[in-house]
Amino acid sequence: MPRPHRPVRKNSASRGARPADTGGRATRGRRPSTPVSTDGPVLELDVERIAHGGIAVAHHEGRVVFVADAIPGERVSARVTDAAHTRFWRADTLEVLTASADRQAHVWAEASVDRAPERRAGGAEFGHIAPERQRALKAEVLTDALRRMGGVEREVEVRAVDPELAPGVRADGTGWRTRVRLQVAEDGAVGPYAARSHTVVPVASLPLAVDELADLAPLADRFQGARTIDLVAPSGADPQVIVTDESERMPRGQRPVTTEVVGDRRFAVDRDGFWQVHRGAAATLSRAVQELIDADRFDPRAANLDLYGGVGLLAAAVGDRFGETVRITSVESDERATMHAGDNLAEWVGARAVTARVDRYLASLEADAGQGERARLRDATVVLDPPRSGAGRDVVDRLAALRPRQLVYVACDPVALARDIGLLRAHGYELEELQAFDLFPNTHHVEAVARLAAIV
């Protein structure tokens, strides 16, 4: 059993580069609550499908209604909360009139449809849906995005994480979050934001968190003058509760470093830096990247690249599969992450870590590479794991101009992935394989790993 930590109150001398990851960026100062109508009209709606973002779609008198906390096939009573748009409205489910066979008691009581919408905790928007149906809905969204934006007809299966890679994670999709951010209200009360709001909701439980964080969470305490409470449970270090004061500003001084373990390998990472949040995510993605690289196309002596490389997780996965002769450059804009990547990849003589924006790094390769280096780039395998917004047109254009043999693209947003696949197809790359994983159970998020190859 990990040794519990007393809350650490951070000040300007100890702040990390970025907050414990909960799917969003840090904000400076407390954000105002989002106004939500509580007196809009109540409609009876037949729910048709799930849209990107996890909101169900219905129609009322020809207008699209995006309704929260519903499942396709249900009939619900929902209150309109936003009617400002002419083409669509937004609504919250108040009562389920005809329930889906896949509706279950919400895994997080504080997010249940039984509570008033403005008091429902955010961050578990699929928690009322049976796990198998959750994965099926995510597959539908990814399949639809690939067809509409990528021009690809492909049936997708979203897999549950292998239990061997995620000890302690339960079959109902709880007990997986190793990093959780809680907000602090004006009166010092602690909790998550309400769904689709910046109102802090006090809660008595954190079922998505790994057990050691759920046990440590100071949910009944008051933190007057604090801004956020970060709960962090690295796989290679003790769990911690970290309090960030309202007065905290830019980071100064030494940043705390922790250790994450994937298989037999240890990775140094800033405690407040980016790391995959699901207990089994790093191992799952490492394995997927290893499986999707086509060994017949892989040249260990080529100018292989790991773009948006972080602390070197996926570059290490490539090295572990193909051996000590692998040549690979990990490119990351965060200087601290690059520093750790250099240490984490030190055993490979041909590995190096570069601090640079990916678009600028690719532009410099295109401008400065000699004939020999261009040939090594054409023989290369490129792994890329961009942020939620995807790589985008500029990076895709520059990458395609270098013409690497194969690309292995790790994505946490189905629409961004599909858009970039469409852009790559226009440059003569085709999608060959795709794996998708439920790395965010009880939410709408899904992770996918795709291999694309240059078609001669």
Q: Do residues 377 and 403 lie in contact, with contact meaning Cβ atoms separated by under 8 Å?
A: yes
CA–CA gap between residue 26 and residue 19 (Å, rounded): 6
Q: Do residues 232 and 240 lie in contact, with contact meaning Cβ atoms separated by under 8 Å?
A: yes
- Residue keyed to tokens 């008033």: 116
CA–CA gap between residue 263 and residue 358 (Å, rounded): 28
CA–CA gap between residue 330 and residue 353 (Å, rounded): 5
Q: Which helix (H) or strand (E) holds 140?
A: helix 131-150
- Helix, strand, coil % over all residues of the chain, rounded to 5: 25, 25, 50
Strand partners, 66: 57, 90
CA–CA gap between residue 101 and residue 83 (Å, rounded): 30
CA dihedral angle for residue 305, residue 311, residue 313, residue 319, rounded to 10 degrees? 50
Q: HSE, CB side, 13 Å, CA atoms: give it for residue 208.
A: 28
- The answer to the question of whether 308 is labelled as a binding residue is yes
- The answer to the question of whether 276 is labelled as a binding residue is yes
CA–CA gap between residue 79 and residue 43 (Å, rounded): 6
Angle between helices 392-402 and 414-426 (to 10 degrees): 40
Report the residue count for the chain.
456
**In the structure encoding, which two tokens stand for residue 309, read together?**
């490389």
- The answer to the question of whether 299 is labelled as a binding residue is no
- The answer to whether residue 384 is catalytic is no
Strand partners, 107: none
Going by C-alpha positions, the residue among 186, 183, 178, 207 that lies closest to residue 194 is: 183
Count other Cβ atoms within 10 Å, centred on residue 13.
Answer: 10
- The answer to the question of whether 385 is labelled as a binding residue is yes
Q: Do residues 159 and 131 lie in contact, with contact meaning Cβ atoms separated by under 8 Å?
A: no
Question: What sign has the CA pseudo-torsion 29, 308, 291, 446?
Answer: positive
Going by C-alpha positions, the residue among 5, 394, 36 that lies closest to residue 237 is: 5
CA–CA gap between residue 425 and residue 247 (Å, rounded): 49
Give the rounded distance of the alpha carbon of 418 from its chain centre: 16
Given the residues 412, 418, 449, 450, select the one marked as catalytic.
Answer: 412
Going by C-alpha positions, the residue among 249, 277, 242, 262 that lies closest to residue 443 is: 277
Q: Which residues are annotated as a binding site for S-adenosyl-L-methionine?
A: 276, 308, 332, 385
Q: Which residues are annotated as a binding site?
A: 276, 308, 332, 385
Positions marked catalytic: 412
